[in-house]
Every structure is written in structure tokens, then in C-alpha cells.
């Protein structure tokens, strides 16, 4: 069964116009990204904890569907790497062998 265009119903055919959504910048995510990368580079535990809290709050706010694409996954990985770099020597201390004198 094929459909043919009815010239009497031209007024019922509406042209499709996509909805325009204005993307607003997520300044919290930008700040958390800066904190997570700087915590890994400078080994600052306060930056790491702040970025972890900010990342978790980014997951828990209303934008959970887009949070992974906005970099929250990267932020949590960088915070995790910073924690491993900072706290692994404390958990597993290295044994320093003393040279005989």
C-alpha cells in the first residue's frame, strides 16, 4: 500500500524544526577537572579529596545521563590515580636497606 500526497491537505503538513537547546557551561565540572589533574601532578591530597567529592556530586545531580560524556569518569580516574600515588607509600612502606659501615 502506497501513500500519495493529497493536494487538499497541504496546510496539515508542517515542516520539521528541531528543538534548539542551549548548552550551558558546567563550571563545577571544569573546576573538578582542574583539581583532579593538579592533584595528580602536584600530589596534593586536598585537591584529590575535593575533586572526588565534586565528581560524586556531579554523578548525583540531575545530569547523570550526560555526566560520563562530560568528563566525570575521567575526573574520578584521575582522582583515583592521585590517591594511589599519594597513599600507596603509606600503606606499603618501602624497606630501606642500610649499607654496612
Is residue 47 within 8 Å of 38, Cβ to Cβ? Answer: yes
Does some domain include residue 46? yes
- Nearby residues of 62 by Cβ (< 8 Å), 6 or more positions away: none
Is residue 45 within 8 Å of 4, Cβ to Cβ? Answer: no
pLDDT in tens, 28-81: 788 888 888 888 888 888 988 998 888 888 777 755 556 566 677 888 888 888
What confidence score (pLDDT) does residue 1 get?
47
**56: closest CA among 38, 35, 72, 39?**
72
Does some domain include residue 39? yes
Does some domain include residue 98? no
pTM above 0.95, yes or no: no
What confidence score (pLDDT) does residue 63 get?
59
DSSP structural state of residue 43: T
What confidence score (pLDDT) does residue 67 get?
58
What confidence score (pLDDT) does residue 72 get?
77
What confidence score (pLDDT) does residue 3 get?
60
Count: domains in the chain: 1
Does some domain include residue 13? no
Amino acid at each position: 500500500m502506497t501513500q500519495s500526497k493529497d493536494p487538499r491537505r497541504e496546510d496539515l503538513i508542517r515542516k520539521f524544526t528541531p528543538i534548539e537547546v542551549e548548552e550551558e557551561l558546567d563550571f563545577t565540572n571544569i573546576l573538578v577537572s582542574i583539581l583532579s589533574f593538579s592533584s595528580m601532578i602536584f600530589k596534593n591530597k586536598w585537591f584529590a579529596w575535593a575533586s572526588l567529592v565534586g565528581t560524586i556530586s556531579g554523578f548525583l545531580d540531575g545530569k547523570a545521563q550526560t555526566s560520563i560524556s562530560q568528563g566525570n569518569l575521567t575526573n574520578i580516574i584521575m582522582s583515583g590515580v592521585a590517591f594511589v600515588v599519594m597513599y600507596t607509600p603509606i600503606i606499603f612502606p618501602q624497606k630501606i636497606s642500610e649499607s654496612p659501615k
